[in-house]
Amino acid sequence: MATATSTVKVLVLRAPGTNCDEETGFAFDAAGGHSDCVHINQLIETPQMINDYQILCLAGGFSYGDDIAAGRILASQMQSRLSDVIAEFHAAGKLILGICNGFQILIKSGFLLPKDQQGLPATLTWNESGRYLATWVDLKANSNKCVFLRGIDRMYLPIAHAEGKFVTRDQSVLQSLADNDQIALTYELSDDEPSPNGSVANLAGLCDSTGRIFGMMPHPERHIDPTHHPRWTRDGLAAEGDGMAIFRNAIGFFA
């Protein structure tokens, strides 16, 4: 457990094209933290500012328009300019969360799954359908290791992505992730229901070996209020949206 602090500070990183930073910051604030939306150029110019924060969040959106590939440009910036400070941030016992585009960035930068002699062991690529997908999905939390999913069994959250298909280099990588309890979140499907994007093992979220870096394709910040649920007028209001628990877990980790 990390050192306690009176106010947990969250750095929500944004870049041109990011479109979920304010909603994500609001969710962290509602969970009891204090968030700041920080432009990537500001962090590159003053990398030591990250030391003032306990949580780094890479929000969803389309950083740099996904002009090369989803998250690739921002991932390259971070890997080339910020790899040392992010490694130090993580080594200090702090948390890193990547949502949708943020998950793509964490994967393609190697921060979540480090490169080996053969390169990146996994990636996120185009959906099996070859099209952008926006829908709501049932999810199952599987990992006892992931800090962000503590106490969570199931969630109902929206997804909105074109490149959310998780694939590994080979079966041995997938088996290693499973054996190490890193397949943190999966799409919960009926027997005849296909994976929404074709991900191997129906993977929707992945944590690193410490459980303190977590990337997920669904958007928890889009279901923090019960009225966000698409059927709230028919099913009634819950106490709060399913996604709120992820932000509470992150803030509570330092409490």
Catalytic residue selected from 20, 100, 146, 207: 100
Predicted local confidence at residue 191, as pLDDT:
85
Q: Calculate mean pLDDT across residues 75-80.
A: 96
Confidence at residue 29, expressed as pLDDT on a 0 to 100 scale: 98
pTM as predicted: 0.96
pLDDT tens column, 145-171: 999 999 999 999 999 999 999 999 999
- Dihedral in degrees, nearest 10, Cα atoms 44, 47, 51, 56: 20
Which pLDDT belongs to residue 192? 84
Q: Which of 221, 223, 228, 229 is catalytic?
A: 221
| Predicted local distance difference test score (pLDDT) of residue 67 | 84
pLDDT number for residue 255 = 82
pLDDT at residue number 2? 42
pLDDT of residue 3 exceeding 70:
no
Please compute the mean of the pLDDT values over residues 130-139 and round it to a whole number: 97
Confirm whether 221 is a catalytic residue: yes
Checking if the pLDDT of 81 tops 50, the result is yes
Digit-coded pLDDT (tens) for 44-70: 999 999 999 999 999 999 999 888 889
* Chain segment 181-196, per-residue pLDDT in tens: 999 999 999 888 889 9
* Domain map (residue ranges) of the chain: 9-252
Q: Is the pLDDT of residue 227 over 50?
A: yes
What is the average pLDDT across 118-137? 97
Query: What integer pLDDT is reported at residue 234 of this predicted model?
Result: 96
- Predicted pLDDT of residue 196: 96
* Whether 240 is catalytic: no
Query: What percent of the chain is modeled with pLDDT above 90?
Result: 93
- Euclidean distance between the first and the last CA atom of the chain, given in angstroms as a whole number: 9
Judged against a pLDDT cut of 80, whether residue 77 lies above it is answered with: yes
Reported as a single tens digit per residue, the pLDDT across 196-205 is 999 999 999 9
CA–CA separation, 251 vs 212, rounded Å?
Answer: 12
Average pLDDT, the chain: 95
**20 assigned to active site:** no
Catalytic residue among 161, 163, 207, 219: 219
- pLDDT score of 1: 40
Instruction: Say what percent of the chain tops pLDDT 70.
Output: 98
Q: Is the pLDDT of residue 4 over 50?
A: no
Contact 253, 32 (CB under 8 A): no
DSSP for the chain, written as a single string: -PPP-SS-EEEEEE-TTB-SHHHHHHHHHHTT-EEEEEEHHHHHH-GGGGGG-SEEEE--B-GGGGSSSTTHHHHHHHHHHSHHHHHHHHHTT-EEEEETHHHHHHHHHTSSS--BTTB-SEEEE--TTSS-EEEEEEEEE--SS-GGGTT--EEEEEEEESS-EEEESSHHHHHHHHHTT-EEEEE---TTPPPSS--GGGEEEEE-TTS-EEEESS-GGGSSSGGGSTTHHHH---SS-TTHHHHHHHHHTT-
The verdict on domain 9-252 having CATH code 3.60.20.10 is: no
Which of 11-20, 67-76, 169-178, 179-188 has the weakest average pLDDT? Answer: 67-76
